DNA sequence: GTAGGGTTAG
């Protein structure tokens, strides 16, 4: 057009600048900017707004590469390479007039670059200039209050939206869903979603992510199915949002189905999705598949490294976990807060206390990460498991913040494993001081008293619980057979195939007794005779699930069971022998790790 | 000419 000698007018540049944004070509954009100035069109409002938008977008690109330098208001202190990007405030200052769009563009630019206070300042300035926030403004501001976890301010915006009839706006809808979800107000998220007159893929993604992030996994999965029924196409974000639900519920068949979708949709090179797949396979007991995905990836970021390290840690592969951590550092990927939790978990499941101490010290010294509650908890857990109970006690007492009930609880369960009632009493006192309703502590103390035949004190604990009206969650195991999940609680006879299960349990008992199995009744704390105890052990939830798995799958199939609390010692012994007599691999995930039983031995080498 | 959603955590 220009070669024909035709001059562009003010209507043209917004489109040309937009093309530069799509092409991610800053140099081209800058030369167009030059062209605009030469033609004297930089005083045009629409052209100015398009320039603002372009520079703001390139600012995001630059910042996503690492440094979070404020390019909007800092000029002097900026590194040379970023100086060109300072053009947003310059363009803004030069503009002869500004409208709502100018402000919205700058507000969004600041908000997307993490400069929340500057964004909010611009909102006030906009008000001072007699311009009212519109739906664009609100959907840029809401994510700020989501990030701040400030539900009061978020609600204020929601109210403003309702008063100005913006609440049926799809964009504001997703921001509201996300804001409420971030503030743990999942009911409010659902309420907003249900009231939306129109929903696009992002509204669906927002509500699904909201459910999963708040632990409402069944609802998340239900909404995912509804999304498919509504013929809304799932996107990359959908998969990385829903996958953690499969990981948490150990629904391997669903995870695999989603993996199929992901491959067919061509999403398998997405970093977020790959990390969520690694986590899902690891948590569903298939660490080999998790590792395969990790090894297939072209680039690894900190999250994917952390996910695979945690995966190996949970499966008791401390050596793999730690050598991966070394490799990660060698690759120049910086570990974060979560990565160290994974490292401590690895050390914990292998009893590597010395190594853990070295990591703990290097975490703050070499990586500048201040140990948080989770790190202290992991270290305390590790020391406790290794039997270093007093060291753990000292460690917890020396924390630079007040210990929580949960951190003392890790030590209490270590006292149970190592049968130290004296320290347990001391620890329990600390727990009841900060958390008088801690169910686990009452149950553990009651069991420990019972184990030392101090029935009166055991009963006292139970009575305390009753008085306070707190109940422990029943022990529960589940297993997936033919794409459906079967749940068992201890002593449960309600399964339709119970007769077969009972017969199988009896047969298995006979077979393992021939292998030398002697019931270990030490951990059963009912004041009843030995024969009855044997029966109680016999009907533990993991045994029921296992017996059901054996009779309902073909010979040789790997059996995967999930349990909500720690596997009991007797069941651990029994399952080892069962894996030998039925010649099957049995994988049990309890609340802290995986046990791979095969040929009479367990991967945890009886340390868990 | 301007806006919203994602992965790892005893």
Whether residue A538 sits in one domain with residue A424: no
How far apart, in Å, do the first and last CA atoms of chain A sit?
74
Q: Which nucleotide is nearest to A135 (CA to C1')?
A: B3
- Based on the domain organization, do A113 and A64 belong to the same domain? yes
Q: Which residue has the higher pLDDT, A13 or A63?
A: A13
Quick one: pLDDT at residue A346? 94
pLDDT of residue A443: 86
Which one of A132, A152, A183 terminates a domain?
A: A132
Stated as kind and residue range, the H or E segment containing A368 is none
The nt closest to A175 (CA vs C1′) is: B4
Domain contains A235: no
Residue A290: inside a domain: no
Question: What pLDDT is attached to residue A210?
Answer: 96
Looking at the structure, tell me whether residues A451 and A540 fall in a common domain.
no
The set of strand B positions with any atom below 7 Å of a protein CB reads: 1-10
Say yes or no: Cβ of A425 under 7 A from any atom of strand B. no
pLDDT tens digits, A320-369: 999 999 999 999 999 999 999 999 999 998 889 999 999 999 999 999 99
- Through-space separation of residue A27 CA and nucleotide B3 C1' in angstroms: 26
So what's the pLDDT on residue A86? 60
Rounded CA gap, A144 and A580, in Å? 57
pLDDT at A526: 64
CA of A386 to C1' of B5 (A): 44
CATH number of the domain residue A443 falls in: 1.25.40
> Do residues A510 and A468 share a domain?
no
Whether the CA torsion A374, A375, A378, A379 is positive or negative: it is: negative
As a rounded value in angstroms, the CA-to-C1' distance for A299 and B3 is 31
> Is A43 within 7 A of strand B by CB distance?
no
**Quick one: what percent of chain A has pLDDT higher than 70?**
93
Report residue A30's pLDDT band, with 50, 70 and 90 as the boundaries.
confident
> Average pLDDT in the A170-182 region?
96
| Res. A63 pLDDT band, cuts 50 70 90 | low
| A572/A368 Cα distance (integer angstroms) | 41
Question: What are A494's two structure tokens?
Answer: 């309600």
Instruction: Judge whether residue A335 contacts strand B, using its CB and a 7 Å cut-off.
Output: no
CA–CA separation, A459 vs A456, rounded Å? 5
User: Nearest-CA residue to the C1' of B10?
Assistant: A378
Give pLDDT, residue A310: 96
> Would the Cβ of A15 be found within 7 angstroms of any atom in strand B?
yes
CA of A394 to C1' of B3 (A): 52
Q: Does A161 have pLDDT greater than 70?
A: yes
Q: Are A33 and A68 part of one and the same domain?
A: yes
Same domain, yes or no: A468 and A532: no
Distance measured from the CA of protein residue A410 to the C1' of nucleotide B3, in angstroms:
46
Q: In terms of domains, do A425 and A480 share one?
A: no
Cβ of A147 < 7 Å from strand B? Answer: no
Cβ of residue A167 near strand B, that is under 7 Å?
no
Does A483 share its domain with A587? yes
Angle at A587 between CA A583 and CA A590, to 5 degrees: 145
Q: Is the CB of A239 less than 7 A from some atom of nucleic acid strand B?
A: yes
Is A19 part of any domain?
A: yes
**Could you say which of A115, A132, A149 is where a domain stops?**
A132
Residue A79 lies in a domain: yes
**Across all strands, nucleotide nearest A338 (CA–C1'):** B9
User: Please, what is the average pLDDT of chain A?
Assistant: 88
Is residue A463 in a domain?
A: yes
Taking C1' of B6 and every protein CA, the nearest residue is: A237
Q: Residue A379 CA to nucleotide B10 C1', Å?
A: 9
Nearest protein residue to B5's C1' (by CA)? A206
Strand B-proximal residues of A, range 279-308, CB below 7 A, are: 279, 283, 301-304, 306-307
**C-alpha pair distances (Å), A331 with each of A159, A276, A328:** 49, 21, 5
Instruction: Give residue-wise pLDDT tens across range A566-587.
Output: 888 888 999 999 999 999 999 9
Question: Do A579 and A485 share a structural domain?
Answer: yes
- Is residue A315 situated within a structural domain? no
pLDDT, average across residues A547-566: 91
Give me the CA A185–C1' B6 separation in Å, rounded. Answer: 19
Helices and strands per DSSP (H, E), number in chain A: 31, 6
Structure tokens at A545: 């699930």
Shortest CA to C1' contact from A241: nucleotide: B6
Q: Can you tell me the mean pLDDT for A100-112?
A: 92
Q: What is the mean pLDDT of residues A257-285?
A: 94
Domain assignment of residue A13, given as a range: 1-132
What pLDDT, in 10s, does the model give residues A211-266? Answer: 999 999 999 999 999 999 999 999 999 999 999 999 998 888 899 999 999 999 99
Q: Which residue is nearest to nucleotide B4 (CA to C1')?
A: A171
**Which pLDDT band holds residue A519 (cuts at 50, 70, 90)?**
confident
Å separating the CA of residue A374 from the C1' of nucleotide B9: 8
Mean pLDDT of A468-486: 85
Strands A559-563, A586-589: parallel, antiparallel or unpaired by DSSP? parallel
The answer to whether the C-beta of A168 is closer than 7 A to strand B is no
Q: Is the CB of A201 under 7 A from strand B?
A: yes
Distance (Å, whole) CA A124 – CA A440 = 50
- Mean pLDDT of all residues in A84-98: 70
For residues A410 and A523, state if they share a domain. Answer: no
Q: Is A465 in the same domain as A581?
A: no
pLDDT of residue A396: 92
| In a shared domain, residues A480 and A578 | yes
Instruction: Please tell me the distance from the alpha carbon of residue A341 to that of residue A379, in angstroms, as a whole number.
Output: 9
**Across A409-416, average pLDDT:** 89
Q: What is the mean pLDDT of residues A55-81?
A: 47
- What is the number of domains present in chain A? 3
| pLDDT given for residue A17 in this prediction | 93
A503 within some domain = yes
A110 touches strand B (CB under 7 A): no
A359/B5 CA-to-C1' distance in Å: 36
On the question of pLDDT at A506 being above 60, the answer is yes
| pLDDT higher at A545 or A519 | A545
Residue A216 lies in a domain: no
Helix residue ranges, H only, A148-198: 151-163, 170-182, 186-195
């Amino acid at each position: 057009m220009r070669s024909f000698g035709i001059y562009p007018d003010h209507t043209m540049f917004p489109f040309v600048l937009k093309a530069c944004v799509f092409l991610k070509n800053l140099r081209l954009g800058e030369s167009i900017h030059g062209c605009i100035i030469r033609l004297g069109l930089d005083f045009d409002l629409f052209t100015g707004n398009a320039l603002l938008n372009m520079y703001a977008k390139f600012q995001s690109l630059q910042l996503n590469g690492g440094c979070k330098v404020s390019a909007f208001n800092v000029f002097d202190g900026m590194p040379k390479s970023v100086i060109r990007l300072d053009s947003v405030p310059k363009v803004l200052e030069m503009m002869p007039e500004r409208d709502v769009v100018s402000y919205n563009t700058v507000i969004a630019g600041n908000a997307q670059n993490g400069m929340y206070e500057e964004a909010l300042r611009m909102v006030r300035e906009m008000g001072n200039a007699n311009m009212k926030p519109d739906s664009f403004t609100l959907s840029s501001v809401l994510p700020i209050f989501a990030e701040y976890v400030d539900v009061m301010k978020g609600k204020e915006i929601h109210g403003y939206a309702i008063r100005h009839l913006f609440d049926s706006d799809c964009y504001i809808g997703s921001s509201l869903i996300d804001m409420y979800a971030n503030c743990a107000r999942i009911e409010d998220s659902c309420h907003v979603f249900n009231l939306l007159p129109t929903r696009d893929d992002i509204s669906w993604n927002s509500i699904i992510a909201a459910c999963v992030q708040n632990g409402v996994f069944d609802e998340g999965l239900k909404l995912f199915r509804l999304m498919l029924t509504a013929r809304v196409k799932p996107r990359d974000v959908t998969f990385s949002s829903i996958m953690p639900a499969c990981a948490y519920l150990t629904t391997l068949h669903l995870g695999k189905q989603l993996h199929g979708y992901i491959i067919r949709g061509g999403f398998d090179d997405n970093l977020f999705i790959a990390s969520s797949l690694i986590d899902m396979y690891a948590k569903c007991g298939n660490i080999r598949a998790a590792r395969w995905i990790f090894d297939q990836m072209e680039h690894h970021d900190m999250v994917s490294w952390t996910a695979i390290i945690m995966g190996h840690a949970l499966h008791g592969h401390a050596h793999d976990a730690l050598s991966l951590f070394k490799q990660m550092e060698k690759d120049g990927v910086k570990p974060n807060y979560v990565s160290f939790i994974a490292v401590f978990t690895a050390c914990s499941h292998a009893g590597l206390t010395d190594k853990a101490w070295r990591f703990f010290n290097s975490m703050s010294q070499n990586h500048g990460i201040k140990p948080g509650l989770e790190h202290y908890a992991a270290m305390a857990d590790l020391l406790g498991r290794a039997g270093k109970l007093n060291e753990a006690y000292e460690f917890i007492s020396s924390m630079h913040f007040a210990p929580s009930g949960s951190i003392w609880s890790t030590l209490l369960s270590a006292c149970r494993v190592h049968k130290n009632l004296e320290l347990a009493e001391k620890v329990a006192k600390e727990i009841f001081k900060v958390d008088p309703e801690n169910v686990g502590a009452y149950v553990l103390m009651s069991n420990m008293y019972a184990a030392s035949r101090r029935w009166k004190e055991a009963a006292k604990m139970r009575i305390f619980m009753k008085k306070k009206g707190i109940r422990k969650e029943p022990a529960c195991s589940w297993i997936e057979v033919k794409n459906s999940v079967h749940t068992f609680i201890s002593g449960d006879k309600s399964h339709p195939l119970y007769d077969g299960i009972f017969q199988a349990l009896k047969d298995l008992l006979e077979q393992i007794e021939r292998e030398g199995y002697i019931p270990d009744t030490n951990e059963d704390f009912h004041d009843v005779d030995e024969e009855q105890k044997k029966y109680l052990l016999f009907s533990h939830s993991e045994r029921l699930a296992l017996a059901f798995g054996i009779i309902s799958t073909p010979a040789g199939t790997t059996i995967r069971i999930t349990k909500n609390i720690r596997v009991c010692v007797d069941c651990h012994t029994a399952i080892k022998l069962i894996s030998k007599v039925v010649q099957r691999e049995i994988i049990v995930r309890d609340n802290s790790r995986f046990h791979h039983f095969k040929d009479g031995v367990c991967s945890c080498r009886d340390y868990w």
